Amino acid sequence: MINRIIIFLLLYIFLNGCDVNRFINKPSSSDPAQDFLLFLLLSREDSNYDLYRYNPNPNLGLGEVRPNAVRFSLPNREEDRSGRINLIFIHGWNFKERNSDPPADFAYKIAQIEDTWLNAIQFIDKLDTNIQDRFNFYFYTYRTSNRIFDNGRRFLNETTRFFKDEDQIVVVAHSMGGLVTREAMLQSQERDLYNGLISLGTPYFGSPFAVSDFVGFNPILQELVSFYTSTDGGRDLAHSNQLDNQVEISGGINLYLDRLSAINESLDSRTVAYYGNMTDCNLGELVLYQTSCNILKNQNVAFEINDAIVLGNSARLGGRAKETIQKENFDHSMLAFRIIDTEAGETFFLEVMNKILNTTW
């Protein structure tokens, strides 16, 4: 028994005395068994979160591939960022994730980033140098099954770790990523670390599809709801009946979003909110979106404006954002520049880049 205690204390001192997070996440091949053992020993979530600097290469030939370790690197706090906007992209919810999953290694984190932002990354590489040189590009990834409050705290910790107070930071966030960012902004109000937020289909007031009572007996959507409601992060996305101009639905209770998305002039005035309006549900690029769009429209006239997942009122922050911008016939994924017509996706991406450059934050 004494020997076990001694071994435990040695492990505790070792694991808390070195930066194991970076050991696990170094950009090299990893042993899943070793990762999982370290996860059990550490009992910590840090390995599931990272902020990476993206190093664009506009001269890359078509079809050429750069290693992830070249494209993505850890930020350098001492880097001279004067005169540039530090643009952080943060993805939304991943329905496949669970809190019980093994810790995320480098390859998984890059795959998580690219699952949402692959088109955006390609568009960054194609930017004219006169635009590209006005930004530093970063991508943040996190375990989406965890509570949004905790994910916001970790995002704030990472940005505080790598950026200085004088650095200008603007976040481009898709879906849940906007809530994670708003939570970080809320927790950093004394410092105002974040200059601005561009949210793309963020459910500030939740989504009906995260409420188990909403979909009735539709088997396709019951499965979707089950994904939402089976994790802490998914449950945090439930529709709230209490916020501005919301329509009441059965089970529409979300005390967390009632707090996070309450009127806050400091946060609201730094938010530009894009939202989708599927005037024709058949234009959704997935059958799931076509189905969910029709269900929303048939449920209530107030649900007419939606991106097939998030209602317009929710994504517009009830109209309280600094600016709200409607994208007609954009479904939820298209708002992250994931459009089959890549030219249309690039046009939207450039629109967002110019919005960032021309907005007084």
- What pLDDT band is residue 14 in, cutting at 50, 70 and 90? very low
Distance of CA 120 to the CA centre of its chain: 14
The DSSP letter of residue 207 is B
Q: Which residues contact 167 (CB under 8 A, 6 or more apart)?
A: 81, 86
Contact assessment for residue 284 and residue 266, using Cβ atoms and an 8 Å cutoff: no
Strand order of the sheet with strand 271-277?
Answer: 72-73, 50-54, 135-141, 85-90, 168-174, 196-200, 271-277, 323-328
Q: How far apart, in Å, are the Cα atoms of 77 and each of 19, 71, 161, 227?
A: 17, 18, 7, 38
Mean pLDDT of 309-323: 97
pLDDT band at 63 (very low <50, low <70, confident <90, very high): low
pLDDT at residue 59 is higher than 50? yes
**Best mean pLDDT range from 23-37, 172-186, 210-224, 280-294:** 172-186
* Arithmetic mean of pLDDT, 223-228: 67
Give the integer Cα–Cα distance in Å for 178 and 115.
17
Residue 18 · residue 36 · CB < 8 Å: no
Enter the pTM of the model.
Answer: 0.85
- Domains of the chain from N-terminus onward: 45-358 (3.40.50.1820)
Residues linked to residue 168 through DSSP beta bridges, in sequence order: 85
Q: What is the mean pLDDT of the chain?
A: 85
